[in-house]
């Protein structure tokens, strides 16, 4: 079947998920990011996604060069149907950053990455009465057992990204291409999930009045010629803004075309960023009249030295 990949409601909170060229592009020289998403159907949390990543940069303090290298690693675990199937992905990414001006505000980055994907299938939870029972193969009964033990795949991705991060605003846009290949759990020679896919995004945050800020985000994905758009806006209100301390609260809503509205609240401080969103689906599941809902939590932590004279943005 066509491969369904993990879809985040706060994709801007995970730089490596959004684009491999974002590795090493944070406000600080080290960054930890994480997301947890749960999709609920008829009161049961049937689908859960966990993402954790870490990235850092090298040669950023070299006074003889404006350019530097960023590297990072990302783990995604996608659990389906209460653990019947689990897809795990380990990605290693690297990006080379080129500053385009003397103030080091404008940055062009080129990123590449490799992903190892593995699927596990708990057959003890996969029962369909007399149609399938994994115990039949051990009890001598008839079976059409066709599952691979530990299927895995190796895939690649590449991206390009432009960032302008000054003392007054944050603008970022990028495009990535990736070979999505979910491991084939059967011995079939056909794996329809192996397709080249594309993703592009634009992030903008700028001050408006009384130290408040206006945030716009747009994400476009082309998956097996299926086009998906995700866009929305947030309003940022500073709660504390002093020389030594900074706290800002964001609130707004996003929309995934023909699928869901996503109210979102986020919080940013000097070193921490936290977000919570709730997916409100706009249509019933076909033929079942079940309502699907979901929520997502995100958390990131910054470490190390900080870039000077930069506008603090939830995107960074």
What are the pLDDT digits (tens) for 92-132? 999 999 999 988 899 999 999 999 988 887 766 666 555 55
Report pLDDT for 148.
66
Measured distance CA(105)–CA(94) in Å, rounded: 21
The residue assigned the tokens 């291409």 is 177
Report pLDDT for 184.
65
Q: Taking the alpha carbons of 247, 250, 256, 259 in that order, is the dihedral positive or negative?
A: positive
**Confidence category of residue 142, pLDDT binned at 50, 70, 90:** very low
C-alpha distance from residue 202 to each of 17, 72, 81, 134, 216 (Å): 14, 22, 33, 47, 8
Measured distance CA(207)–CA(219) in Å, rounded: 22
Tokens linked to 19: 């684009």
Buried-exposed string 251-274: b where 16+ CB fall within 10 A, e elsewhere? ebebebeebbebebebbbeeeebe
pLDDT digits (tens, 9 = 90+) for 15-24: 999 999 999 9
pLDDT digits (tens, 9 = 90+) for 35-69: 999 987 666 667 889 999 999 998 766 556 788 99
Contact yes or no for 256/236 (Cβ under 8 A): no
Measured distance CA(84)–CA(82) in Å, rounded: 6
**Confidence category of residue 1, pLDDT binned at 50, 70, 90:** very low
**Confidence category of residue 7, pLDDT binned at 50, 70, 90:** confident
DSSP 255-270: EETTTEEEEEEEEEES
Report pLDDT for 2.
38
When comparing pLDDT for 118 and 136, which is higher? 118
Tokens linked to 245: 């301390």
Region of 191 (left: φ > 0; alpha: ψ -120 to 50; beta: rest) is beta
The residue assigned the tokens 């980055």 is 109
Helix, strand, or coil here: 110?
strand
List of domains in the chain: 11-306 (2.40.160.60)
H/E stretch holding 231 reads: strand 226-241
Tell me the chain's radius of gyration from C-alpha atoms.
21
φ, ψ for residue 21, nearest 5 deg: -70, -10
Question: Model-level pTM?
Answer: 0.84
């Amino acid at each position: 079947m066509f491969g369904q990949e993990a879809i985040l409601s706060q994709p801007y909170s995970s730089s490596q998920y959004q684009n491999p060229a974002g590795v090493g592009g944070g406000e600080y020289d080290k960054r930890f990011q994480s997301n947890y998403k749960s999709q609920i159907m008829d009161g049961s949390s049937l689908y859960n996604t966990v993402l954790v990543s870490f990235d850092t940069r090298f040669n950023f303090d070299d006074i003889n060069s404006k350019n530097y290298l960023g590297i990072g690693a990302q783990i995604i675990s996608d659990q389906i149907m209460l653990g019947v199937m689990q897809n795990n992905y380990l990605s290693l990414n690297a990006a080379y950053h080129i500053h385009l001006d003397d103030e080091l505000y404008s940055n062009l980055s080129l990123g590449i990455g490799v992903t190892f994907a593995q699927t596990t299938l708990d057959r003890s939870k996969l029962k369909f009465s007399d149609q399938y029972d994994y115990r039949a193969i051990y009890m001598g009964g008839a079976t059409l057992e066709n599952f691979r033990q530990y299927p895995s795949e190796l895939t690649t991705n590449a991206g390009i990204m432009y960032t302008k991060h000054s003392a007054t605003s944050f603008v970022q846009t990028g495009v990535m291409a990736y070979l999505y290949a979910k491991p084939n759990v059967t011995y079939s020679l056909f794996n329809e999930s192996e397709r080249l896919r594309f993703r592009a995004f634009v992030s903008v945050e700028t001050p408006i009045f009384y130290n408040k800020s206006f945030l716009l985000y747009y994400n476009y994905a082309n998956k097996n010629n299926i086009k998906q758009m995700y866009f929305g806006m947030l309003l940022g209100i500073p709660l504390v803004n002093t020389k030594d301390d900074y706290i800002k609260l964001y609130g707004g809503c996003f929309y995934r075309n023909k699928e869901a509205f996503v109210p979102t609240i986020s919080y940013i401080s000097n070193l921490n960023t936290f977000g919570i969103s709730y997916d409100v689906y706009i249509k019933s599941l076909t033929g079942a009249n079940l309502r699907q809902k979901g929520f997502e939590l995100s958390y990131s932590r910054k470490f190390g030295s900080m870039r000077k004279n930069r506008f603090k943005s939830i995107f960074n």
